[in-house]
Amino acid sequence: MSTLPPSKLTSEKKRLAVGVSMRELGALDVSFLSKEINEECSGSIVDKVYEAPLGAFRVKTYGKGRKDLIILGNAVYLTKYKYPSTETPSNRSMFIRKRLKGEKILEVRQIGFDRIISIDFGEYALVVELFGKGNLILLRNGKIEWALHPKRWRHRSLVRGEEYSPPPEPKINLLEMRISDEVLSLLRKEPASKVLAINGLGSLYAKEICLRAGLDPLSELKSSEEVDLLIEAMKGLSKSIEEPDPRLILEGNEVIDVTPIPLVCYKEKEQIRVEKFNYGVDEMFSREYFRKVSKSGLEEELIKLEKILQEQISKYKELSLEEEKARRKGDLISSNINRLNAILEEMKELGEKERVVEIHGEKVLLRANGVFNSASSYYERAKRIRKKLRGLNRAIEETKSKISKIKEEIRGEAESIEEGLMERLITVKRRRKREWYERYRWFFTSRDHLVIGGRDRKTNEEIVEKRMDRDDLYFHAQIQGAPHVVLKTGGDEISKEEIEEAGIFAASFSRAWREKLHSMEVFWVRPEQVSKKAPSGEYLPRGSFLVRGKRNYLKVGLKLGICFYKDKVMCAPLRAMRGFYLEIEPGDSSKDEISRIVAREFKERMGIDLEVDEIMRSLPPGGSRICGLGESTSRSNHMINK
């Protein structure tokens, strides 16, 4: 699992559910998510249920590989991150754990076309409502056993012992293309995007539909033609659901959204394809979650310290006033000795031990033991207060120092988290599912048939012994130090052009390229003609195969192109190029030099970041020379100026 930098994590007992500051997932998003989670989790067994900091829940499962299902207030997803747990298990997580531990997940499904996911176990079900502040409800035989946020409404109740019923179904169901008459009527009276958003689509997809229809999202529809345009746009969006193409949407190096399909409203933004929508949801929500959780403990401590500092400062001001007042009263007594001595005589005659006397509008306490003793008592009090002030001042400086350190730690943690997230984003940019054929040299022909070739003795043997099927074609260059090459036909008829492409590939990745030859003879045969068995009395070296029967020869030129196809760097014959490409032929430039030029050209001309290492891995052995640039259409290749 991916792990972000450690942080001081504390349990937040007051917080019921985390609300990560991202756009709310819509019903369409939940439809994709529920299907993907179901594929991954159905048949899995619940191991434990934890409550993570900030009120997130983590459900650990096993049986189909160890998986962590995260439940937030506004999202549900499988994560590759290592989420922390609270210091001690919460009562809530223990309540759920006792009932679900050992239970098999039968199905993960969307309820209606709404932002509700139900994880079904048979007797039990865990329902996640992803609207409002979010809710988590445990059902037993359809009745509510426990709810994170119990509540009663006019139309339903989330109270223990009652049957669970979801809220009224949204008035727009994009999957079934069902729109209520009420919505169609409202579209003539209120802004279209608002009507669509509040009736089941959410603001993002409401705006998207308006843009696809060529309508102003902030205006109401003025004609039946505009209504038809809107409905057609909704149908188009609904149809695109059948072919998921999830994207992370970036702004700079920040993930700002994730979508299950490409959206017009994000066409100007940088986008990263991800294999599954869930992966993108995990990236977006986990990044924000870890930002918050990394700061939560430190910020809690900072809040306490700042409160202490305010109290200390307030106390310091209060004591400073008291010290000033005591000293002033002492001074008033000392500067009015004659007058006060006269009052003392009067007090003795009356037998008074003390009297409050007013001097220049200030009341002071005059004691019978003398004027100097009276002044001294005020000075002593001022002295004691000054001592307290010195101690309090030290405490204030210590608190300020602690606050500075905490702030520095928060900054450090934030930087550490951002570095971790940045590294993770770089990994995501590069991350894609590695196909089995990437272990070998490979390309796709102009008609999209896969061709594979060995990289070394081991992979050469694998290609013939494990990867070559009955309908395939075997190729080999007429030079020692050439790879075994197999064209995977899939039972299809193979064109002469594809045979030539496979031949060029076999020749180009042989020693002929290193020797700077510009043409080479290649033969091809059927799989049944290739054998590991040597004739009686003879020996085949390891990695060698015997070819029997008639060989089909062709002479080919050594020239290749480099393009970006199926999210991968592909080095192949020119006829197999897709989109923008660079031409190479045998030459004197190192693989590193060529790779860096290729990476630069793709970045400058196409805005595509290619990894130098991936380009190097795709190149033939030996030196090369870039001899042209081109752009391929479906049927032809065009040269373009350098």
The lowest-confidence range among 258-267, 343-352, 388-397, 527-536 is 527-536
206 and 197 in contact (C-beta within 8 Å)? yes
> Pick the residue with more confidence: 510 or 614?
510
Domain ranges of the chain: 27-171, 173-280, 286-420, 463-556, 559-642
- Per the rule left: phi > 0, alpha: psi between -120 and 50, beta: everything else, 324 is alpha
Q: How confident is the model at residue 641 (pLDDT cuts 50, 70, 90)?
A: very low
The lowest-confidence range among 36-50, 176-190, 585-599 is 176-190
Residues 19-31 have a mean pLDDT of 76
Q: In this model, does residue 468 exceed pLDDT 60? A: yes
Which pLDDT does position 96 carry in this prediction?
Answer: 94
Which pLDDT does position 467 carry in this prediction?
Answer: 93
Residues 264-292 have a mean pLDDT of 86
Mean pLDDT over the full length of the chain: 86
Q: In this model, does residue 4 exceed pLDDT 50? A: no
Cα dist. 340→332, 406, 559 in Å?
A: 10, 56, 115
Radius of gyration of the chain (CA): 38
583 and 630 in contact (C-beta within 8 Å)? yes
Which pLDDT does position 612 carry in this prediction?
Answer: 81
Q: In this model, does residue 33 exceed pLDDT 90? A: yes
Q: In this model, does residue 275 exceed pLDDT 90? A: no
Domains 27-171 and 173-280 share a fold: no
CB atoms within 10 A of CB 592: 13
Query: Can you give the length of the chain in residues?
Result: 642
Which pLDDT does position 639 carry in this prediction?
Answer: 47
Exposed/middle/buried for 379, CB within 10 Å: 0-12, 13-18, 19+?
Answer: middle
Which pLDDT does position 319 carry in this prediction?
Answer: 95
Which sign, positive or negative, has the C-alpha torsion 222, 228, 229, 231?
A: positive
Which pLDDT does position 180 carry in this prediction?
Answer: 81
CA distance 26 to 441: 42
Q: Which residues pair with 239 in a beta bridge?
A: none
Concatenated DSSP letters for 326-361? Answer: HHHHHHHHHTTHHHHHHHHHHHHHHT-SEEEEEETT
Under CATH, what is the fold of the domain 173-280? Answer: Helicase, Ruva Protein; domain 3 (1.10.8)
Q: Give the model confidence (pLDDT) of 404-426 as tens digits.
A: 877 776 665 555 555 555 555 54
- Locate the DSSP E strands across 499-559: 519-525, 530-531, 546-547, 552-557
CA distance 340 to 330: 13
Which pLDDT does position 417 carry in this prediction?
Answer: 53
Residues 245-271 have a mean pLDDT of 86
Residues 161-190 have a mean pLDDT of 85
Q: How confident is the model at residue 542 (pLDDT cuts 50, 70, 90)?
A: low
Q: Which two tokens stand for residue 247?
A: 């994207």
Which pLDDT does position 13 carry in this prediction?
Answer: 32
Which pLDDT does position 11 carry in this prediction?
Answer: 33
The CATH code belonging to domain 27-171 is 2.30.310.10
Q: How confident is the model at residue 294 (pLDDT cuts 50, 70, 90)?
A: low
DSSP state of 466: I
Nearest by Cα to 78 from 60, 99, 105, 51: 60
The lowest-confidence range among 17-26, 232-241, 419-428, 620-629 is 419-428
Concatenated DSSP letters for 355-382? Answer: EEEEETTEEEEEETT-HHHHHHHHHHHH
Which pLDDT does position 606 carry in this prediction?
Answer: 81
Nearest by Cα to 234 from 170, 177, 171: 177
Which pLDDT does position 154 carry in this prediction?
Answer: 85
Q: In this model, does residue 183 exceed pLDDT 80? A: yes
- Locate the DSSP E strands across 130-182: 135-140, 143-147, 151-152, 157-158, 172-173, 178-179
The lowest-confidence range among 101-110, 179-188, 421-430, 510-519 is 421-430
Residues 139-165 have a mean pLDDT of 93
Residues 459-472 have a mean pLDDT of 92
Q: Give the model confidence (pLDDT) of 585-609 as tens digits.
A: 999 999 889 999 999 999 888 878 8
